[in-house]
Amino acid sequence: MSYFGKFYLVGPEATKAANWLFTADVSKAPGSTVYTCMLNKRGGVESDLTVSRISPGDPASPLAPAFEGDGYYLAIGGAVAQHNWSHITSVLQDMKLQCKLLDCSEELGMMSIQGPLSRVVLQEVLDTDLSNEAFPFSTHKLVTAAGCTVRAMRLSFVGEMGWELHVPKADCVKVYQAVMQAGARHGITNAGYRAIDSLSIEKGYRHWHADLRPDDTPLEAGLAFTCKLKSGIPFLGREAVEAQKAKGIFRLPLLGSAQKVPMFGLEAVWRDGKVVGHIRRADFGFAIDKTIAYGYIRDPAGGPVSLDFVKSGSYQLERMGVTYPAQAHTKSPFDPDNKRVKGFY
């Protein structure tokens, strides 16, 4: 996953900037990692990313730069890294705060080890206890792997128990070989992006640029949990989100499953004989042996859309002029309680 963007937001006023930039409360203790969004002033989602609170390095390194004040490590999908950089720098320039954004994308590699045996494999490679108690989900640590210092993060974009290893460029091959050697007797294999697409849609996870766009709000996308609305902390786009919450939400996400038929996005969604939206992204879910489609739907009558509206009604997905019966889900049809990321299989 080395194509990911890897930025540091550091400086005396980095927390002030982070509070404004990120929808979630990221100003936690060093060692924490938070999934969050960034919004525009209209409440639209400009990005989803992970933000990790870090301590300064002594001496400085690509894994831990030296800085005064507070520091945050941002990990962002590589295809949208430049978009994120532009959004953050423009906000920081407007705010004129004492902090800076550093780009270490080229200095760090990244590999993601995911699945029920990831702990068994990595326990042979990393010099730290990987139990749920010692290394909970959504935390990170600097540890040693094959004699090299790496930042291990317990995260998942595929909804499985696993860790990301953020590794200095010169050490990537050595660490990768150690992981593959330890995993060989456990059946480890390299997985590509189609596997990530399939696994992520099976868990109901969002892809920015398809499922999430700058014209989608967190409330519409089912990501209200990323917004610190219960706190008094202002953030970019908060007023727009609060106004939408008060007025009502006029479209909601639909996670639909249908028989084995290839779908790719832009297929029409029918509900009770009327077109109510279209599919943003679709893929095959191997765990449930069905096609899974993700899109947004509206009420043809023009009113706000409720979860009851999503759950009721009869759905069909149209592909090339043929409609196929579909089942609507408001939660992922596979592992809806997200137990696997916490190590419970």
Q: What is the pLDDT of residues 68-91, one digit of tens each?
A: 999 999 999 999 999 999 999 999
Residue 164 labeled ligand binder? yes
Q: Find where tokens 């996870």 sit.
A: 205
Contact between residue 244 and residue 216 where contact means Cβ atoms under 8 Å apart: no
What does the pLDDT read at residue 333?
87
Summarize the confidence of residues 26-40 as an average pLDDT: 97
What does the pLDDT read at residue 277?
96
Contact between residue 108 and residue 165 where contact means Cβ atoms under 8 Å apart: no
261/329 Cα distance (integer angstroms) = 18
The pLDDT confidence band at residue 150, using thresholds 50, 70 and 90, is very high
Contact between residue 177 and residue 184 where contact means Cβ atoms under 8 Å apart: no
293/61 Cα distance (integer angstroms) = 43
Write the pLDDT tens digit of every residue in 44-74: 999 999 999 999 999 999 999 999 999 999 9
- Is residue 330 pLDDT above 90, yes or no? no
Contact between residue 68 and residue 57 where contact means Cβ atoms under 8 Å apart: no
Helix (H) or strand (E) holding 258: strand 252-258
Write the pLDDT tens digit of every residue in 159-214: 999 999 999 999 999 999 999 999 999 999 999 999 999 999 999 999 999 999 99
Distances (CA, A) of 114 to 13, 61, 77, 84: 35, 27, 17, 26
> How many residues would you count in the chain?
345
Write the pLDDT tens digit of every residue in 236-284: 999 999 999 999 999 999 898 888 999 989 999 999 999 999 999 999 9
Q: Which amino acid belongs to residue 130?
A: L
Contacts of 12 (CB under 8 A, 6+ apart): 68, 69, 70, 98, 99
Summarize the confidence of residues 134-158 as an average pLDDT: 97
345/19 Cα distance (integer angstroms) = 35
